[in-house]
Structure 1
Amino acid sequence: MNTQLLYGDIGGTKTILQLAEIAEGGIRECRTQRYDSAAFATFSDILQDFLGQATTQPPPAACFAVAGPIAAQQATLTNLPWQISSAHIAHAFSIPSVKLINDFEAVALAIENLPGSDLITLQAGQPHAQAMRVVLGAGTGMGVAWLTPANNRYFAWPTEAGHIDFAPVTPLQISLLESLQNRFGHVSVERLLSGAGLTHIFKFLQQSTAASSDLPLIQLGEDSGAAIAALAQTQRHPIAIQALELFAAIYGAYAGNLALAGLCRGGVYIAGGIAPKIIDILSAGGFMHAFHAKGRFSALLHEIPVHVVTNPAIGLLGARQEAFRLLDNGP
């Protein structure tokens, strides 16, 4: 009899659940469903809907990648008021083995098995075998995970490095920081490098140029990153273009900081939902210029490979990989 696996990618914007079957020919996806996370009061409500449509017994193993910190197999989402417990899920849905992992831990776990077709290389560099790697990505928030080599494989370590201080490096970025400090007090990297962050950048630039610009004022919601990208790419709106360029420069500087912090000679991997949509901006030079701008260590930064991950389901792939491992090893 075939064995089923349940796994999912739980984010502040969307939740994707997938059921797969393990047969002699490998793993075959049976069903995938996407949910609007904010439309549900709890994750259990989503899982109840998904499993309620299944015609089989509960699967023996499940792994869920969660956009938030995890402690003692309990998680609170960073951008939603959800609390999730692996023990509660196991009991409520009769699943013997359940594990929660950080969403960027899942992304990191999948990196090792990604084909080259799922990567766009910004810098080939001089990769070192079995060297540290870092995975970061802007989306609803900013996720970061380390990959450390041991025993001929990589182990993923989730972090909350998206919430460290934003470090401006130009007069314009300093003005941006001061503007956001007046509003939020503490200004983390995620305040800039996320969908909402791009919106903050656009609003700052629009306000800064209002007195000298003839452009009509554009009213945007709190998380209008996609709309700003569309303004830049399809309408060539000058402030939207400037916002994306500033976003890319801040992104590149931050990626370079992480590359130095981990001495990531194995590579820097840019994941998240935003990067593939603005690949033309990331490839234009501003991102890598900021990545390299580390003074005496600029030469080292030129040696570190930098790739953009284009597979939108990478978190789901990592969760599936971990669910498969649970069948043999348990949580």
Structure 2
Amino acid sequence: MSRAAKGVLVLAGDIGGTKTKLGLFRVTPRGAVRAASARYESRLYPGLVEIVREFLARNPAAPSAACFGVAGPVRDGRCVATNLPWVVDARGLARVLRLPRVELMNDLEANAWGIPFLAPGDFYTVNKGKPDLKGNAAVIAAGTGLGEAGLFRDGSELRPFACEGGHADFSPAGALQGKLWRRLTARFGHASWERVLSGPGLVNLYGFLRGAGREPRWLAVELKGAAAAAAISRAGLERRSA
């Protein structure tokens, strides 16, 4: 079997403030096939190097290249993670892990590159509009933070680009949102969209609105745990209020 047919082994990773997902993929002319994957709690590790070492120890392999999508701005192969006490450096990773080639990109930019490879069944329409096949597009993902990326049409294809739109100013509409803006500004010094639309943002919103109604005792107990945003989400999805 030729090298091209056998495929090139690549290490890929999605590095977020809550979790880090790694995978080994064999890339052939027919596509990429996953050989191994694992998920890690990001904050349990001092950095990405330690996670990759553990992953490769459990999945012995010699990847030809690695690419990591990191939640934060990437400049010259280096990223100071937004919601982690990590500095991720491509050259340092390549040297310490003895990888021939390491690339970094913003995690939402990486997601945007993957959009064309999704099947129709992978999509769920939230608000049906009128498609513009000549227009641009955006990817927005709320998690530990608020990730955003754009896709501009160059005449024939959509080209992803990174942005940090989640850190743009929250623009209130109406008196209630104005009060929320003042509360967030007083607490954090800057009211960004990420302070509203994210896991921590749900906790901020709940804390702001809690004074307008009676808080169920069971929810107050759940909110004392580490997964406060998850508890609020479950209560909302299950429409539990008492």
Picking from 217, 220, 235, the partner of 1:218 is 220
Asked whether 1:93 is paired with 2:97, we answer yes
Equivalent residues in 2 for 1:195-206 (5 A)? 195-206=199-210
Residue type matched to 1:153 in 2? E
Whole-angstrom CA distance in 1 between matches of 2:119 and 2:30: 20
Summarize deviations over 1:100-120 as a string: whole Å, max 9, x none: 010000111111222221111
Q: Secondary structure at the match of 2:182?
A: helix
Q: Is the contact between residue 196 and residue 223 of structure 1 (CA under 8 Å) also seen in structure 2?
A: no
Q: Is the contact between residue 216 and residue 241 of structure 2 (CA under 8 Å) also seen in structure 1?
A: no
Equivalent residues in 2 for 1:186-197 (5 A)? 186-197=190-201
Residue in structure 2 matched with residue 12 of structure 1 by the alignment? 17
Picking from 39, 46, 49, the partner of 2:51 is 46
Residue in structure 1 matched with residue 40 of structure 2 by the alignment? 35
Whole-angstrom CA distance in 1 between matches of 2:119 and 2:13: 21
Residue in structure 2 matched with residue 275 of structure 1 by the alignment? none
Q: Secondary structure at the match of 1:203?
A: helix
Summarize deviations over 1:211-234 as a string: whole Å, max 9, x none: xx3744725257622110112233
Summarize deviations over 1:35-69 as a string: whole Å, max 9, x none: 0000000110001111122333x211111000011
Whole-angstrom CA distance in 2 between matches of 1:60 and 1:104: 24
Q: Secondary structure at the match of 2:191?
A: coil
Higher share in helix? 1
> How far did 1:235 drift?
5.6
Q: Secondary structure at the match of 1:120?
A: coil
Alignment length (residue pairs): 234
- The unaligned stretches of length 5 or more in structure 1 are 239-331
Asked whether 1:162 is paired with 2:163, we answer no
> How far did 1:24 drift?
6.2
Residue in structure 2 matched with residue 80 of structure 1 by the alignment? 84
Equivalent residues in 2 for 1:60-75 (5 A)? 60-75=64-79
Picking from 99, 102, 109, the partner of 1:105 is 109
Moved more, 167-176 or 190-199: 167-176
Whole-angstrom CA distance in 2 between matches of 1:223 and 1:187: 23
> How much identity, in percent, do the aligned residues show?
36
User: CA 1:202/1:4 → structure 2, altered by over 3 Å: closer, same or farther?
Assistant: same
Q: Secondary structure at the match of 2:220?
A: coil
Q: Is the contact between residue 12 and residue 79 of structure 1 (CA under 8 Å) also seen in structure 2?
A: yes
User: CA 1:171/1:11 → structure 2, altered by over 3 Å: closer, same or farther?
Assistant: same
Q: Is the contact between residue 192 and residue 200 of structure 1 (CA under 8 Å) also seen in structure 2?
A: yes
Q: Secondary structure at the match of 1:112?
A: helix
Whole-angstrom CA distance in 2 between matches of 1:224 and 1:231: 11
- RMSD (CA atoms): 2.0
Q: Secondary structure at the match of 2:207?
A: helix
The runs of at least 4 consecutive aligned structure 1 residues that moved more than 6 Å come to none
> How far did 1:20 drift?
1.3
Residue in structure 2 matched with residue 174 of structure 1 by the alignment? 178
User: CA 1:223/1:171 → structure 2, altered by over 3 Å: closer, same or farther?
Assistant: farther
- The unaligned stretches of length 5 or more in structure 2 are none
Whole-angstrom CA distance in 2 between matches of 1:231 and 1:124: 27
Residue type matched to 1:21 in 2? R
Residue type matched to 1:218 in 2? A
Asked whether 1:144 is paired with 2:109, we answer no
Residue type matched to 1:65 in 2? G
Q: Is the contact between residue 162 and residue 189 of structure 1 (CA under 8 Å) also seen in structure 2?
A: yes
Summarize deviations over 1:274-296 as a string: whole Å, max 9, x none: xxxxxxxxxxxxxxxxxxxxxxx
How does the TM-score come out when normalised to structure 1?
A: 0.66
How does the TM-score come out when normalised to structure 2?
A: 0.89
Whole-angstrom CA distance in 2 between matches of 1:88 and 1:63: 13
Residue in structure 2 matched with residue 255 of structure 1 by the alignment? none
